[in-house]
Amino acid sequence: MLLKPSGAISTALLVVGSAVGGAYAYHHYRDADWERRYAEYQRQLQGRLTESERQMQALNTQLGVARARLVTQDTLDEKYQALLTARDADFEKFRREHALAIKSISQAVFGLQQRERGGTETAHEEPPAPARPGAPMASPARQVISYEFTDSEGRVHLKDPNIWLQGDEDLELTQSFQVEGTVMQQTDGSLMTERVQLTEVTPDGTGKYRPLTQARLVDANFTYANAPRDEAPLSQRSYMATIGSSFRTSSLVRFGGSARVLRLGPVGFAGGLSSDFKSLEGSGADAFLTYTPSIAGRELGLVLGGGVHLPLGGARRVLPNLTLSFVVY
């Protein structure tokens, strides 16, 4: 059933008014949220921290947490350039080729104290060197004794050709270390912190490593840049109020809610529920592709969509569906 001209005009005005109101509300609250986050960022950047935030940014060697500091991206880039040496030339070339930006810099000092128990040691007397024919007989000397030690894990190998002679020892260390770094961020702020752990490990024969000794964190610094973003990440879910239409149905317009669950640039996919509040055919699930228009790089908060409506009842089980949505969150 088609709407009368006056009804069509009223519906059009309702749709346009809802869209404009939704776009205004979206920008109003998004801009307000951005201003709040930016003010919070400036406070933290200037070092005006709460007691809880100071504890989060302080060095904690017992927990392995580094001393952290929030800086601007320019300051972080300057610090990175100051740390570069000739040994970093290959990595710096790699970074520039792949357009990689510096987001944080970590420096850590660990202390590792170990005690070996068990192992294999050998000591035996070395036969004296044969005397050369015609050479005078050497005076009796202390018997040469050589010594070797290998720890039970095969990491330490000590060789001493002559225990009576100082300076001829040969100590060989073969060690493997596992470094774990975990970066965490405030759920409602820009502050971050890093936990770093160093563990000596040894192969267990199955392709994995068995931990031996946990090193103690002595000192660590974590410098990072983390300014708030104006736009949400592209993969972030959006919740929307939706106005849909399948045309040539008993009710031209349906109202409902939807969630955009996938987004790739301006396009995405959303699903939701809508109803005309009059019939089972006008009520059901929606699935549609979305397009988010923008002006001068700034999203309008409006989402255009096209897909299908799946009624709860009625003769037709699938209806074409056009939607106009506005982002609520």
For tokens 């060690």, name the residue.
Answer: 175
What is the tens place of the pLDDT at every residue in 227-248? 987 655 444 678 888 999 988 7
> Is 319 contained in some domain?
yes
How far is Cα 320 from Cα 245, in angstroms, rounded to an integer?
8
Residue-averaged pLDDT of the chain = 84
Residue 152's pLDDT is what? 83
Expressed as residue numbers, the domain containing 307 is: 232-327
Instruction: Give domain status of residue 294, yes or no.
Output: yes
Q: What is the structure's pLDDT at 268?
A: 92
Residues 82, 31: Cα–Cα separation, whole Å = 37
Is residue 300 within 8 A of residue 30, CB to CB? The reply is no
**Whole-number Cα distances in Å, 120 to 113, 153, 175, 192, 201:** 21, 10, 18, 48, 20
Q: Judge whether 106 lies within some domain.
A: no
- Taking the mean position of all CA atoms in its chain, how far away is CA 305? 32
Name the one residue in this structure whose structure tokens are 């849909």.
244
Whether 288 is covered by a domain: the verdict is: yes
Q: What pLDDT, on a 0 to 100 scale, did the predictor assign at position 1?
A: 43
Mean pLDDT of 190-196: 94
pLDDT band at 21 (very low <50, low <70, confident <90, very high): low
CA dist., res. 191 & res. 35, Å (int): 17
Query: Which pTM value belongs to this model?
Result: 0.60
* pLDDT tens for each residue of 145-188: 898 988 888 888 899 888 888 888 888 888 889 999 999 999 88
Q: Is residue 274 part of a domain?
A: yes
Residue 132 is predicted with a pLDDT of 67
Task: Please indicate, yes or no, if residue 312 is contained in any of the structural domains.
Answer: yes
292 within some domain: yes
The answer to whether residue 259 sits within a structural domain is yes
**Token pair for residue 318?**
């699938």
260 with 269: CB under 8 angstroms? yes
Compare 18 and 221 and report the one with higher pLDDT. Answer: 221
Residue type, 65: V
Please state the domain count of the chain: 1
